[in-house]
Amino acid sequence: MQKKELALFLFFPLHSLFFFIIVLVAKITTVEISLDSKTNVFFPNSEITGKIYLNTIEAETIQKVNVKIIGRAYVFFLVRRYRSSLQYESEHYYINANECLWKFNETNQSLNGEYWFPFKFVIPSNAPANVSEEFGEIQYFIKADIEFYGKKFGGYKKYNEFQYYGFSVCTSQTENP
Ligand SMILES: *[C@@H]1O[C@H](CO)[C@@H](O)[C@H](O)[C@H]1NC(C)=O
Ligand SMILES: *[C@@H]1O[C@H](CO)[C@@H](O)[C@H](O)[C@H]1NC(C)=O
Ligand SMILES: *[C@@H]1O[C@H](CO)[C@@H](O)[C@H](O)[C@H]1NC(C)=O
């Protein structure tokens, strides 16, 4: 075999195998998050509502549909000393709530097709505005967590598919003219 042929021979089956796995793993369940508000900007003490969109043909493997809201401050920096440097890291949650929107049970297992699961959370009254700086950030996001139990890579396993959707929190209500 020539070098080129050998390369093709080695590459092609691997390539198609990866393609096959990607199609198998990624294409049979679609998860999307959408918010009802078109602006994506929320004030403390206000409601945030939206939907988790699920389109699947592997319903028998879905165990749970969860939605989370996370508001997190994270600070990280290094202070250089003569021979070493000190590391500062801190994390604080303004909100970290979870809601189960659907759960598998004997009488509730037909979930093939398209579904929209509505959710609702309240932004806490002490929530600061989101920022992103060199040494830290305050971020808010909705996280969809689909929990599966099924055959994957040759054995039965629990696995999850996550989707994230970021939004802004604004604390000054007088900013708009
Ligand atoms: C049962 O399934 C239906 C949709 O098929 C859904 O609307 C409902 O919330 C589910 N119930 C529970 C307790 O998860
Ligand atoms: C299963 O879900 C149905 C529909 O939401 C509910 O009415 C029923 O109590 C649940 N059964 C069990 C065993 O949890
Ligand atoms: C706040 O978060 C949103 C959504 O992630 C982002 O688009 C926006 O730029 C953030 N604002 C600041 C000031 O970091």
The distance from CA 157 to its chain's CA centroid, rounded to whole angstroms, is 20
4 C-alpha vs ligand 3 centroid, how far in Å?
A: 50
Residue 134 class from Cβ within 10 Å (0-12 exposed, 13-18 middle, 19+ buried)? exposed
Q: For 143-174, how does the pLDDT look when each residue is reduced to its tens digit (9 = 90+)? A: 999 999 887 777 888 999 999 999 999 998 65
Q: What's this model's pTM, rounded to 2 decimal places?
A: 0.74
Q: How remote is the C-alpha of 123 from its chain's centroid? A: 18
110 lines ligand 2 (CB under 6 A): no
Q: How many CB atoms lie within 10 A of CB 23?
A: 10
For residue 169, report the distance from its CA to the centre of ligand 3, in Å: 8
Report which residue type is found at 12.
F
Question: In the predicted model, what is the mean pLDDT of residues 107-131?
Answer: 89
Alpha carbon separation from 64 to 30, 57, 124 (Å, rounded): 15, 15, 26
Domains and CATH numbers, the chain: 30-169 (2.60.40.640)
Distance 21 CA to ligand 2 centre (A): 34
